[in-house]
Amino acid sequence: MIRCEGMPRHEEADLEGDELNSLLAASAPKINLDPEKVEQGLGKIVLTLIELLRKLLEKQALRRVENDSLSPEEVERLGIALMRLENKMDELKGHFGIEDEELNIDLGPLGRLI
Place 104 in a pLDDT band, splitting at 50, 70 and 90. Answer: confident
Parse the chain into domains and list their residue ranges: 36-110
Q: What pTM was computed for the model?
A: 0.60
Q: What's the Cα-to-Cα distance from 30 to each of 1, 18, 25, 87, rounded to whole Å?
A: 25, 19, 9, 34
Please check whether residue 60 is in contact with residue 74, taking contact to mean a CB–CB distance below 8 angstroms.
no
61-89 CB burial, b ≥16 within 10 A, e <16? beeeeeeeeeeeeeeeebeeeeeebeeeb
Higher pLDDT, 109 or 12: 109
| pLDDT tens track for 58-68 | 999 999 999 99
| pLDDT tens track for 69-94 | 989 999 999 999 999 999 999 999 99
With a CB cutoff of 8 Å and minimum separation 6, the contacts of 92 are: 43, 47
